[in-house]
Copies of this chain bind each other. A is one copy, B any other.
């Protein structure tokens, strides 16, 4: 679980990553509230391993969530509240987005010391 400004720590690979790249429309229109709720709700799902998220001043954002397996990703995708958020995302919050499902094969961090 990540701290507010920390990076997600995940177990040894293999595991899955969902790479969500997006470009926001202008104005909040309920986005911040939804994003906080989806963060909270997603973390309760079995198989959730962590999440990293960043959005720059140009409106381009990247959220990567980490999952034990594809079944866990699918269960979260089909969550009823999440499905409503996905529809609102298509219609209101995102000019553009792409979702990539990837199997993490190797990982390494900053050398210690």
Contacts and interface: CB of A to CB of B under 8 A. Distances in A.
Copies of this chain per assembly:
2
Contacts of A100: 10, 13, 17, 104, 106-107
Contacts of A6: 23, 96
A105 B101 contact: yes
Q: Could you tell me the dominant secondary structure of chain A's interface residues?
A: strand
A21 to B, nearest CB: 5
B103 A103 contact: yes
**4 nearest CB pairs, A to B:** A102-B102, A62-B62, A54-B54, A102-B104
Interface of A: 4-8, 10, 13, 17, 19, 21-23, 52-56, 58-62, 64, 90, 94, 96-111
15 contacts: A6-B23, A6-B96, A7-B21, A10-B100, A52-B60, A53-B56, A54-B54, A56-B56, A99-B107, A99-B109, A100-B104, A101-B105, A101-B107, A102-B104, A102-B105
